C-alpha cells in the first residue's frame, strides 16, 4: 500500500485549523473515497481532482484510493482541499517527490482543466502556518498578496497544477512580500468629506462626540435633511486601524469571500449599510454552512442602519447580543461558533411614516397610532443601548447656499485621535477602550461630578422624567465631551450638552 501526507487546513468560525490529508492507494477495484467529515463541496472534489490530474498529463491511478481528512472530528467545507488531495494522490502514486510536500501548507481549488482557482480564508491559513512554524505555503495566485500580509511561511503563488508541481521543491524565486505600511498610507484618502455637509453643526458635533467615545447614535429627522449624507462621512473621521485590528477584520472578510479583488488587507475601518430587507442570518450570520453576517463584517467599524424602523423587528432584536458583548454566537447541531462583532451602531429614521412630524414647513398627515406603530419597531431594550439621539433638522436656504467649506474631516479626526488617546491611557488597566463601554461600577469611579452638575442632573431628571439608565448614558457622554476638551473633570456644561443628545427621553418627538 502506498501512502502520502499533505498539510492543509479547514475553517472553524474565522480561524483555520490544521488538517492532514492522508492518501492511501491499495489494490482492489478502482474507487475513490473521501472520509473524515467532508461536506458536499469536499465530496465533489473527487470529480475535479480526477479531471485535473488527467488533463494535466499525469496518470490517475486505477486503484482503491482512500483520502482521510484528519482530525475526523471537524467538518470540512469548501473547495480549498482540492489541491492537497490531488498532490497527495500524485505523491502516493510516485509521480512527485514526497519530500516536496514536507513542511508545506497547501490550499487551492482545482478547475477541471487543472487551473487553480481562488479560495476563501487564505489570511487565516497564513496565520496558522506562521503559528505552527510551517516554512512554505502554496496558494492560488490571486490569493498571494493576502497570504503575504503575514510574515511567516514563504509563499508559492500557483496558477495551475503543472506549474504547481514545477515550483514545488524549489524555493520561491522572489519571496512574496507585501508592504503593509504602503497599504496603510493609502487608507487616509477618502472620496467624501465632512466639509461637503452644509450647516448641521449640532449633528456634526454629535457625531464627533459619538466617534470619540464609541457611542451608538440614532439620527432622527425629516427626509432630505442629510442623515444618510452625514452617516456616509463617518468613516472619514474614524481613527486609523492598528495592524492587529486590520488583520482581525480582514480575516472575517476573507472567510466570507468578500475581500475585493486586489485588496490584501482591509486597512480602512469597514462601513456596512445593509438594506432593510436583510434577513436574520444576513445580519448576524448563520446559514447551513455558517458564515459571518453584517454585524461581523462591520467589526472594528460602523454598522449603519438607514431607515431603521423599516427593518424587521425580530431582525433588529438580534443586535442586542453583539452590542453588549462584541461578538455573536451561532449554534449548530454539533458546534457553537462565535464571530467577533464589535461595531459602532448608527441608525437613521424619520420621526413618523410620512417624515414630516415636527417639521416647521410641512404638515404631517400621520395618525398618532400610526406614528406609535412606526416607532415601536425599535424596541425599548434596543433603544436602551443607544446613547445618543440626535435631531437632524431641515437645512436652511442660506446654509445650503453658503459657499464656504465647513470643517474638514481631517481636522475633526485629529481631535478625535487625541480624545481616544486620553481614554486609552485612562483605561489601561481595565479591559476597555471607550467611555461608551463603562459599566455602572466603573461609571462611579471615572465619572464623578460636582454639586452643580448633580443639581443640574437632578432638575432635568424631574423635568424630563429621565430614567436611571438615561442618566448613566448622560454621564458617559459628558465624560467624552470633557475628554474632547482635554479636561480632567466633568463640568456642568458637559452635562448640559449631553442632555441635548437625549431627545427621545426629552419627549421632543412625543405624539400624545
Ligand X SMILES: Nc1ncnc2c1ncn2[C@@H]1O[C@H](COP(=O)(O)OP(=O)(O)OP(=O)(O)O)[C@@H](O)[C@H]1O
Q: Which helix (H) or strand (E) holds 201?
A: helix 201-213
* Shortest reach from residue 221's CB to ligand X, in Å: 6
* Shortest reach from residue 233's CB to ligand X, in Å: 10
Q: Which residue has the cell 431594550?
A: 381
Q: What span, in angstroms and rounded, lies between the C-alpha atoms of 465 and 16?
A: 51
Instruction: Decide if residue 350 touches ligand X (CB under 6 A).
Output: yes
* Shortest reach from residue 234's CB to Mg ion, in Å: 14
Q: Give phi and psi for 105, each to the nearest 5.
A: -90, 130
Total of chain residues touching ligand X, rule CB under 6 A:
14
CB 36 within 8 Å of CB 76? yes
Cβ nearer to ligand X, comparing 36 with 353: 353
Cβ nearer to ligand X, comparing 108 with 353: 353
Cβ nearer to Mg ion, comparing 161 with 392: 392
What string marks each residue from 215 to 234 as x (binds Mg ion by CB under 5 A) or -?
A: -------------x------
* Shortest reach from residue 223's CB to ligand X, in Å: 3
Q: Which residue has the cell 419627549?
A: 507
Identify the three-state secondary structure at position 87: helix
229 contact choice in Mg ion, ligand X, none (CB below 5 to 8 Å, kind-dependent): ligand X
* Shortest reach from residue 395's CB to Mg ion, in Å: 14
The length of the chain is: 512
CB neighbourhood size of 189 (10 A): 8
CB neighbourhood size of 154 (10 A): 16
- Per the structure block, which three cell numbers stand in for 448? 464623578
CB neighbourhood size of 169 (10 A): 15
List binders of ligand X among 378-397 (CB under 6 A). Answer: 395
Residue 70 DSSP class: E
- Cβ-closest position to Mg ion: 228
Q: What is the CA radius of gyration of the chain?
A: 28
- Cβ-closest position to ligand X: 226
Q: Give phi and psi for 71, each to the nearest 5.
A: -75, 145
Cβ nearer to ligand X, comparing 224 with 368: 224
CB 200 within 8 Å of CB 392? yes
226 contact choice in Mg ion, ligand X, none (CB below 5 to 8 Å, kind-dependent): ligand X
CA dihedral sign of residues 180, 181, 183, 188: positive
Instruction: Decide if residue 273 touches Mg ion (CB under 5 A).
Output: no
- Per the structure block, which three cell numbers stand in for 456? 443640574
199 contact choice in Mg ion, ligand X, none (CB below 5 to 8 Å, kind-dependent): ligand X
* Shortest reach from residue 72's CB to ligand X, in Å: 52
Instruction: Decide if residue 175 touches ligand X (CB under 6 A).
Output: no
Chain center to CA of 344 = 11
Identify the three-state secondary structure at position 378: coil
350 contact choice in ligand X, Mg ion, none (CB below 5 to 8 Å, kind-dependent): ligand X
Identify which range of 181-189, 193-201, 455-463, 484-492 contacts ligand X by CB under 6 A. Answer: 193-201
Q: What span, in angstroms and rounded, lies between the C-alpha atoms of 110 and 95?
A: 18
Cβ nearer to Mg ion, comparing 273 with 408: 273
Q: What span, in angstroms and rounded, lies between the C-alpha atoms of 41 and 326?
A: 32
* Shortest reach from residue 281's CB to ligand X, in Å: 26
285 contact choice in ligand X, Mg ion, none (CB below 5 to 8 Å, kind-dependent): none
Instruction: Decide if residue 409 touches ligand X (CB under 6 A).
Output: no
- In 221-326, which ranges are E strands? 271-272, 285-286, 291-292, 302-305
* Shortest reach from residue 473's CB to Mg ion, in Å: 25
Beta bridge partners, 218, equal: 347, 389
300 contact choice in ligand X, Mg ion, none (CB below 5 to 8 Å, kind-dependent): none
200 contact choice in ligand X, Mg ion, none (CB below 5 to 8 Å, kind-dependent): ligand X
Instruction: Decide if residue 197 touches ligand X (CB under 6 A).
Output: yes
340 contact choice in Mg ion, ligand X, none (CB below 5 to 8 Å, kind-dependent): none
Nearest to 236 by CA among 434, 414, 477: 414
* Shortest reach from residue 279's CB to ligand X, in Å: 22
* Shortest reach from residue 381's CB to ligand X, in Å: 25
Q: What span, in angstroms and rounded, lies between the C-alpha atoms of 155 and 398?
A: 59
**How many CA atoms does the CB half-sphere of 364 hold within 13 Å?**
21
Cβ nearer to ligand X, comparing 39 with 407: 407
* Shortest reach from residue 307's CB to ligand X, in Å: 6
List binders of ligand X among 198-257 (CB under 6 A). Answer: 198-200, 221, 223-229
Rule CB under 5 A: which residues touch Mg ion? 228
Rule CB under 6 A: which residues touch ligand X? 197-200, 221, 223-229, 350, 395
Amino acid at each position: 500500500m502506498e501512502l502520502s501526507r499533505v498539510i492543509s487546513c479547514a475553517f472553524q468560525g474565522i480561524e483555520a485549523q490544521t488538517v492532514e490529508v492522508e492518501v492511501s492507494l491499495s489494490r482492489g477495484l478502482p474507487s475513490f473515497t473521501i472520509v473524515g467529515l467532508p461536506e458536499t463541496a469536499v465530496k465533489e472534489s473527487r470529480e475535479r481532482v480526477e479531471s485535473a490530474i488527467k488533463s494535466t498529463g499525469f496518470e490517475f491511478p486505477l486503484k482503491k484510493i482512500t483520502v482521510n481528512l484528519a482530525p475526523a472530528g471537524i467538518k470540512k467545507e469548501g473547495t480549498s482541499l482540492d489541491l492537497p488531495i490531488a498532490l497527495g494522490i500524485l505523491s502516493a502514486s510516485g509521480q512527485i517527490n514526497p519530500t516536496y510536500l514536507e513542511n508545506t501548507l497547501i490550499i487551492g481549488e482545482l478547475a477541471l482543466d487543472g487551473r487553480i482557482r481562488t479560495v476563501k480564508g487564505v489570511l487565516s491559513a497564513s496565520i496558522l502556518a506562521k503559528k505552527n512554524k510551517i516554512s512554505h505555503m502554496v496558494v492560488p495566485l490571486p490569493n498571494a498578496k493576502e497570504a503575504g500580509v503575514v510574515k511567516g511561511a514563504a509563499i508559492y503563488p500557483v496558477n495551475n497544477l503543472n506549474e504547481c508541481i514545477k515550483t514545488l521543491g524549489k524555493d520561491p524565486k522572489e519571496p512574496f512580500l507585501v508592504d503593509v505600511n504602503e497599504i496603510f498610507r493609502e487608507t487616509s484618502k477618502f472620496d467624501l468629506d465632512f466639509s461637503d455637509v452644509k450647516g448641521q453643526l449640532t449633528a456634526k458635533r454629535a457625531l464627533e462626540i459619538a466617534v470619540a467615545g464609541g457611542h451608538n447614535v440614532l439620527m432622527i429627522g425629516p427626509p432630505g435633511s442629510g442623515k444618510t449624507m452625514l452617516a456616509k462621512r463617518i468613516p472619514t473621521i474614524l481613527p486609523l486601524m492598528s495592524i492587529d485590528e486590520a488583520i482581525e477584520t480582514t480575516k472575517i472578510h476573507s472567510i466570507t469571500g468578500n475581500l475585493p479583488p486586489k485588496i490584501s488587507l482591509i486597512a480602512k475601518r469597514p462601513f456596512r449599510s445593509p438594506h432593510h430587507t436583510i434577513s436574520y442570518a444576513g445580519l448576524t450570520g448563520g446559514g447551513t454552512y455558517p458564515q459571518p453576517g453584517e454585524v461581523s463584517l462591520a467589526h472594528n467599524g460602523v454598522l449603519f442602519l438607514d431607515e431603521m424602523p423599516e427593518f424587521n423587528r425580530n431582525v433588529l432584536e438580534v443586535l442586542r447580543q453583539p452590542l453588549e458583548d462584541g461578538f455573536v454566537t451561532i449554534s449548530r447541531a454539533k458546534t457553537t461558533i462565535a464571530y467577533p462583532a464589535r461595531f459602532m451602531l448608527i441608525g437613521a429614521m424619520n420621526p413618523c411614516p410620512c417624515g414630516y412630524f415636527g417639521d416647521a414647513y410641512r404638515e404631517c398627515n400621520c395618525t398618532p397610532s400610526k406614528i406609535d406603530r412606526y416607532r415601536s419597531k425599535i424596541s425599548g431594550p434596543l433603544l436602551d443601548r443607544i446613547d445618543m439621539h440626535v435631531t437632524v433638522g431641515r437645512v436652511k436656504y442660506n446654509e445650503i447656499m453658503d459657499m464656504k467649506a465647513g470643517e474638514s474631516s481631517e481636522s475633526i479626526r485629529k481631535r478625535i485621535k487625541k480624545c481616544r488617546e486620553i481614554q486609552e491611557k485612562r483605561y489601561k488597566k481595565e479591559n476597555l477602550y471607550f467611555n461608551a463601554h463603562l459599566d455602572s461600577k466603573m461609571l462611579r469611579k471615572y465619572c464623578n461630578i460636582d454639586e452643580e452638575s448633580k443639581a443640574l442632573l437632578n432638575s432635568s431628571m424631574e423635568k424630563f422624567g429621565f430614567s436611571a439608565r438615561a442618566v448613566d448614558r448622560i454621564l458617559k457622554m459628558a465624560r467624552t465631551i470633557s475628554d474632547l476638551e482635554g479636561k480632567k473633570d466633568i463640568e456642568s456644561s458637559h452635562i448640559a450638552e449631553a442632555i441635548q443628545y437625549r431627545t427621545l427621553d426629552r419627549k421632543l418627538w412625543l405624539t400624545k
